[in-house]
Amino acid sequence: MKIPLKPSMLKVRRKGIKWIIIHHTSEMYEQPEARIDNPKYQLPGLFKGVLEMKQGDINYHYVIDKIQEDYVPIVCRPFSFICEWDDINADINERALHVALLGNYDFKIPEKRLYDILAYRVLNPALKLFRIPPSRIKLHNEVTNNKDLTCPGDFVDAAVIEAMVRKFVIK
Ligand SMILES: [Zn+2]
């Protein structure tokens, strides 16, 4: 399936990137493809969600999907536009890069390889390019005003993300 590209529905980013926020896709897209990770390319499942919710594009800048043997970060919403998160303080959200792990990590433990790819291919380059410290990487549940939110899932470990970021630091 092909999703229509509708940048006119998106809000242009006016402020620099100062925060990186980690999610899992099961919070937003109800399609079964968004709730499990398996070796099939699952982004089309998210596109169905975009159409149903009448969004301009997927509401994350990057989604890390699992394709065959490995995890692959995919550009979803170009980072020159902001994502729509009413539960996150606008001061943070307008300066945030949103990265989602495809699946539901309330039920599944992330593989070490997923953390590796997240840090090496997405987090570390963004820290370097936008000149922000690792302390600006937050889990969605740390920046939301919704107390019941578990995103990016109970099994995602901030300490492991921190360790992987240290491993791939770009000097
Ligand atoms: Zn989230």
| Ligand 1: centre distance to CA 70 (Å) | 22
User: Which of 23, 17, 2, 43 has the alpha carbon at shortest distance from 143?
Assistant: 23
| Ligand 1: centre distance to CA 34 (Å) | 13
Q: Render pLDDT for 83-124 as a digit per residue (tens, 0 to 9).
A: 999 999 999 999 999 999 999 999 999 999 999 999 999 999
| Ligand 1: centre distance to CA 23 (Å) | 4
Which domains occur in the chain, in start order? 13-167 (3.40.80.10)
Measured CA to CA, the distance from residue 102 to residue 40 in angstroms comes to 12
> HSE (CB half, 13 Å, CA atoms) of 132?
20
Measured CA to CA, the distance from residue 106 to residue 121 in angstroms comes to 24
- For residue 46, what pLDDT band results from cuts at 50, 70 and 90? confident
Cα 46 to Cα 4, 69, 120: the distances in Å are 13, 20, 24
Judge whether residue 4 has pLDDT over 90.
no
| Ligand 1: centre distance to CA 139 (Å) | 8
| Ligand 1: centre distance to CA 69 (Å) | 25
pTM of the predicted protein model = 0.95
| Ligand 1: centre distance to CA 85 (Å) | 9
Q: Render pLDDT for 5-41 as a digit per residue (tens, 0 to 9).
A: 889 999 999 999 999 999 999 998 888 877 877 777 7
Which is it for strands 96-101 and 19-24: parallel, antiparallel or unpaired? parallel
Say what the pLDDT of residue 169 is: 94
Share in percent of the chain as helix, strand, coil (round to 5): 35, 20, 45
